[in-house]
Chain A
């Protein structure tokens, strides 16, 4: 592969009881690009995210970030190496204000963090809700807040679990703009998304998972015509 891989999954295996969620899954995410991770429900996308971020432990295989193994590390250690994520169902801190949600997570100096937090709130136009409890925000607003909380930690690799779900069109377009700009700043982004328009329009590379295995990989144009992918989605 011509690009340098920032994240490499090697033969990842994860079982839940009798169910195999990841079955020797291998893929490598190119640095400085937006990649997509798609697949039918239950194909292991979120499990893979959980394994990358350390919430679940692999039963076999390795995960390397910038050439160093991160599987087996505690989630906060992985986060500090430069990986940050959002969740499929938003997980803000409801009884902290929007502003405090951002302050809580950062590793930089407290004063600098204040400025950065205000910048980011303005960036997604949440500045007027700065001192509102996060639990009182609308779902879309919580999603944005969770997203800028990711940026607060200044990660190199950003994992987004269904960023488009439940977000209205205008907001979505802005979000996609932001993602492209982040990519242009040199960030790597990996997205799990069901909205095919979003995935096809945004991602440079797409990985397709089925039954915990990677069944296809390539640019959107190739994935769209791939027979195995169509089979996985629509059955045979």
Chain B
């Protein structure tokens, strides 16, 4: 067993916070869609994977700066999301939960396997920026800190959009009470379309940022649905700022558990955490409404 020093702990906390910003961004997309449509989009992670591939290919084929490619992955994924909503998901918005869960599960499997057929299951990486800033013995990875800053910026833009624009307000109104929103003349189906596109776009942005830190492969998205959900439960109470801190918290917890236990068990720790939270504090984000 390696001796664990204070610096090492601080190191993983900092790295964890940096990744956590990303988790918050991805979770925001999931919770937006759930809030408005009461649909847990199991394909959310798959959208993240597609976003990562957009960045990878633009980087590999055209040498585009991966951070800049967010400007492309966001609209691309928005269109993909809106299309999938328009083709499939709108049919199950008012159906029992079983239908929407299974449908989005089917979509995620279809898309992930089409990606494998198209791009093989090889691990790919975007080696754009490496190295770290060193601050007081702590290495702060350059790609991670830029990704963190961008995740923060995108989250902030999303907030401004939700609070300042007419569409954003309509989205929040629909998420608070669908019937009332409809009565007030909000075109709920259009809001669904925009929200689902937006959710996918946020996942796509997350994917672009993930690609500079971790490997890109068709199944990379799988864990993110679970992680995003955990972030939402950690944040609690259905408020988006809560989810942001939930994201940071998850990043730190993951970092610490990989330091004190082993990287292999990181997911086990998050899982036990989720189950324990549900056991002890069952009224998490989604429990408040029946």
Task: Please say whether chains A and B are actual partners in one complex.
Answer: yes
In the assembled complex, A55 has its CB within 8 A of some CB on chain B: yes
Interface residues of B in 166-215 (CB under 8 A from A): 176
Chain A residues near B290 (CB-CB < 8 A)? 55-56
Interface residues of B in 118-134 (CB under 8 A from A): none
Q: Could you pull out 3 A-B pairs where Cβ atoms are within 8 angstroms?
A: A17-B176, A55-B290, A56-B290
Q: B interface vs A, CB < 8 Å?
A: 176, 290
Interface residues of A in 3-60 (CB under 8 A from B): 17, 55-56
**B175 smallest CB distance to A (angstroms):** 12
Chain B residues near A17 (CB-CB < 8 A)? 176
- Main DSSP-derived SS at the A contact region: loop
Nearest 3 CB-CB pairings of A with B? A55-B290, A17-B176, A56-B290
**B180 smallest CB distance to A (angstroms):** 11
Chain B residues near A55 (CB-CB < 8 A)? 290
Chain A residues near B176 (CB-CB < 8 A)? 17
CA distance A179 to B42 in the complex (A): 48
CA distance A17 to B237 in the complex (A): 12
Chain B residues near A56 (CB-CB < 8 A)? 290
CA distance A17 to B176 in the complex (A): 10
**B114 smallest CB distance to A (angstroms):** 34
CA distance A55 to B289 in the complex (A): 10
CA distance A87 to B188 in the complex (A): 26
CA distance A11 to B136 in the complex (A): 59
CA distance A56 to B290 in the complex (A): 9
In the complex, per-residue mask of A127-163: 1 if CB is within 8 Å of any chain B CB, else 0: 0000000000000000000000000000000000000
Minimal Cβ-Cβ distance residue in A for B289: A16
Minimal Cβ-Cβ distance residue in A for B290: A55
**A93 smallest CB distance to B (angstroms):** 12
**A84 smallest CB distance to B (angstroms):** 19
**B238 smallest CB distance to A (angstroms):** 11
**B184 smallest CB distance to A (angstroms):** 15
CA distance A56 to B176 in the complex (A): 17
Interface residues of A in 54-76 (CB under 8 A from B): 55-56
CA distance A85 to B6 in the complex (A): 60
Interface residues of A in 70-113 (CB under 8 A from B): none
CA distance A17 to B290 in the complex (A): 15
Minimal Cβ-Cβ distance residue in A for B176: A17
CA distance A42 to B176 in the complex (A): 17
Minimal Cβ-Cβ distance residue in B for A50: B290
**B40 smallest CB distance to A (angstroms):** 22
CA distance A187 to B178 in the complex (A): 38
CA distance A149 to B216 in the complex (A): 56
CA distance A17 to B175 in the complex (A): 13
**B266 smallest CB distance to A (angstroms):** 36
CA distance A17 to B172 in the complex (A): 14
**B106 smallest CB distance to A (angstroms):** 22
CA distance A170 to B176 in the complex (A): 40
**A21 smallest CB distance to B (angstroms):** 13
CA distance A127 to B176 in the complex (A): 43
**B281 smallest CB distance to A (angstroms):** 15
**B239 smallest CB distance to A (angstroms):** 12
Minimal Cβ-Cβ distance residue in A for B283: A57
**B181 smallest CB distance to A (angstroms):** 15
**A53 smallest CB distance to B (angstroms):** 12
CA distance A56 to B283 in the complex (A): 13
Minimal Cβ-Cβ distance residue in B for A75: B290
**B178 smallest CB distance to A (angstroms):** 15
CA distance A10 to B149 in the complex (A): 53
CA distance A200 to B72 in the complex (A): 67
**A133 smallest CB distance to B (angstroms):** 16
CA distance A221 to B177 in the complex (A): 39
CA distance A141 to B176 in the complex (A): 33
CA distance A17 to B288 in the complex (A): 11
